[in-house]
Amino acid sequence: MSVPRPAAVIVLAAGEGTRMKSRTPKVLHELCGRALVDHMLGAARGLRPERLIVVVGHARERVEAHLAESAPDVLTVVQSRQNGTGHAVRTVLEAVGTINGTVLVTYGDTPLLREETLRELVERHAGDGNAVTVLTAVVPDPTGYGRIIRDSTGAVLEIVEEKDATPEQRAVAEMNSGVYAFDGLLLADAVKRVGVANAQGEEYLTDVLSILREDGHRVGAHIAADYVEVEGVNDRVQLSFARRVLNDRILRDHMRAGVTIVDPSSTWIDAGVVIEPDAVIHPDTQLHGATSVGAGAAIGPASTLTDTVVGEDAVVRNAVCEGAEIGAQASVGPYAYLRPGTRLGRKGKIGTYVETKNASIGEGSKVPHLTYVGDATIGSGSNIGAACVFVNYDGVEKHHTVVGDHARVGSDNMLVAPVRVGDGAYTAAGSVITNDVPPGAMAVARGRQRNIEGWVTRRRAGTSSAEAARLALAAQEEAGQE
Ligand code: UD1
Ligand code: CA
C-alpha cells in the first residue's frame, strides 16, 4: 500500500540532554557512523515528506552547523526557551505557517525507529481518518513516560505524564513514544490552545490529543510491534544499547545479502558501508564511513577500515586503513597502517609492519616488510626490500619519490626525496639514495667495507669472542695445511 506523502516531518531536538553529561549536544552523539539525529532523519526521508524540519535550541549553533553539512534538505527552527513539546511544535508553526496535510512529529534521539514503523503509523492514520494517531508501545517498565489512557472500549482518551498521573494511571504499561501523525490544520488550531496547568508548567504536545478528542475528532493509536524502536537515548547506557541493536540490524542485512560475518559480537559496521557477496569479515573488525568491500575479499581479523575501498578477492589482515584504495587480489598486513592517499594496485602487497601515506603502489608491486612509504609513486612489478624508508620530510616540506616499473630497491634503503629510481633499476642493500638512478642502473650508496684482521684477538683478549676467533682461525689453518 502506498502511503500519502507527509506534508512535513518535525523532529524535536531542542532539549539539552543533561543525562549524557557531555560537551556534545545529545543528538550529535554518534552511533554506527551517524549522529543520533541523522538516523531519525534517514528514517523520515524514506517517507518522502515535502518538508523536513528540525527544532533546535540547546547548543543550536553546533546542531545547525552539523545539519548544514549532513542534512542540507532540513529546515531548522529555533526554540530559544524549551517550554515543552507543545511549545516546540507551536514555535515551528509560527515560523513556517500552518502546514496543510499530514504532519509527523518525532524526536531526534530515537535512532532505532525504523522507516517501516513510521510508514505503518501514517497508514493507520490515513486509513482510520484520524485527526491524530499516536505511536505507542507496551513496555516492561513505563517509568518516566507518558501513559496512554483508554476507555472501556479501548478508545484513546488522553495521554497523562508520569508526574501528573494517578497511581492507577501509572500502572498502565502502554507508553507514549512521542511520535505522532497529525492532521496539519487541526494541529495548528489545537496547539494554540494547550495550557501549562500541569506538574512541569510546560506546554505538553500530548494535550493536543484530548483537545482534538473533546472537539469531536477521531484520535487513534498505533502500537509498535517492537518497543525497542521507540526507546530514546537519554544517557550513555542507552546509547550503547542502541548502538548494539543498530549494529545487529546492519550485520543481519549484510549476512542476508551474502556476506559472511564470522563473529557478529565483535564486528562493527557503520550504516552505509557497502559489502559485496562472498566477502568474509573476520572477528574484531570495524568498517567505518564510506568503506566498501568487493566480492570475495577477506577483511580481518582485527582490522579497522575507514573510508577505504577494497577490491574483489583482496585480503586485509590486522590492519588500520584510512582513506585507502586496495586493488583486487591485493594483500595487506598482517600489521599494516595505510593512511590517506594510499593506492595499492591489483595483486599488490603491503606487508608486515609497513606504513604508507599518499602513496601509489602499482599493479603487482610489493612492499613486504618493515617499511615507511610516504609521498611516493611506485610503478608496477617493483619490489621494495625490507626496512626501507621513503624519506619525505626535510623538516620543513614534504617531497615526492618516484620508483619506476620492475625496479628492485634493496633492503634497508633510504630514498631521500625528491628522488627517482628509474624503470628496471636496482639499488644495493643499505644504500642512502640521494641522486636519481637511471633506468637499468645499479646504485650503490654506502660505505665500503673494511676488515681489520686480528682486531678482536688484540683488543678484546680473554673474551669469549677472542677465544671463538682463535679456535676458528686454528681450524682454518689446519684445513689449509691438509
Ligand atoms: C515526552 C512526552 C511523553 C513521552 C516521552 C517519550 C510530552 C509532554 N511528554 O516526555 O508523553 O512518553 O516524551 O520519550 O510530550 N523537546 C524540545 N523542546 C522542548 C521540550 C522537548 O525540542 O521544549 C524535545 C527534546 O529535545 C526531546 C523531545 O522533545 O527530544 C522530548 O522531550 P523530553 O523532555 O525528553 O520529553 P519527556 O518529558 O521525556
Ligand atoms: Ca525523553
Query: What's the chain's length in residues?
Result: 482
- Report which of 12, 10, 439 is spatially closest to residue 182, judged by C-alpha positions: 10
Cell (9 digits) for 401: 619519490
Q: Cα separation of 290 and 344, whole Å? A: 18
CA angle 31, 113, 207 (to 5 degrees): 120
Counting from 1 in the atom list of ligand 1, the atom nearest the Cα of 57 is 22
User: For residue 421, which amino acid is it?
Assistant: V
Secondary structure of residue 89 in the 3-state scheme: helix
Q: Which ligand is nearest to the CA of 238?
A: 2
Residue nearest to atom 9 of ligand 1 (CA): 146
- The reported pLDDT for the residue numbered 188 is 98
- Give the Cα separation of 23 and 13 in Å (integer): 16
Question: How high is the pLDDT of residue 481?
Answer: 82
Task: Choose the residue to mutate in 81, 92, 107 for probing ligand 1, maximizing ligand atoms within 8 Å of C-beta.
Answer: 107
Query: What pLDDT score does 482 carry?
Result: 74
> What pLDDT was estimated at residue 3?
74
Return all residues near 277 (Cβ < 8 A) that are at least 6 apart: 257, 258, 259, 295
Strand locations in 301-365 (E): 304-306, 309-310, 315-316, 319-322, 325-326, 331-332, 336-338, 343-344, 349-361
Single-letter residue type at 392: N
pLDDT in tens, 56-84: 999 999 999 999 999 999 999 999 999 99
Ligand 1 mean position to 457 CA, how many Å?
87
| 203 touches 194 (CB < 8 A) | yes
Q: What per-residue confidence (pLDDT) applies to 334?
A: 98
Which ligand sits nearest to residue 59's alpha carbon?
Answer: 1
Residues 359, 374 contacting (CB under 8 angstroms) = yes
| Predicted TM-score (pTM) of this structure | 0.93
Please give the positions annotated as active site: 369
Tens of pLDDT along the chain (482 residues) come to 567 899 999 999 999 999 999 999 999 999 999 999 999 999 999 999 999 999 999 999 999 999 999 999 999 999 999 999 999 999 999 999 999 999 999 999 999 999 999 999 999 999 999 999 999 999 999 999 999 999 999 999 999 999 999 999 999 999 999 999 999 999 999 999 999 999 999 999 999 999 999 999 999 999 999 999 999 999 999 999 999 999 999 999 999 999 999 999 999 999 999 999 999 999 999 999 999 999 999 999 999 999 999 999 999 999 999 999 999 999 999 999 999 999 999 999 999 999 999 999 999 999 999 999 999 999 999 999 999 999 999 999 999 999 999 999 999 999 999 999 999 999 999 999 999 999 999 999 999 999 999 999 999 999 999 999 999 999 999 998 87
Cα 328 versus chain centre, distance: 24
For residue 234, the CA-to-ligand 2 centroid distance in Å is 7
Question: Which residues touch 310 (CB under 8 Å, ≥6 apart)?
Answer: 291, 292, 293, 294, 297, 299, 316, 326
Residues with CB under 6 A from ligand 1: 12-15, 55, 79, 82-85, 87-88, 107-109, 145-146, 159, 161, 175-178, 204-206, 232
CB-neighbour burial class of residue 101 (10 A; exposed 0-12, middle 13-18, buried 19+): middle
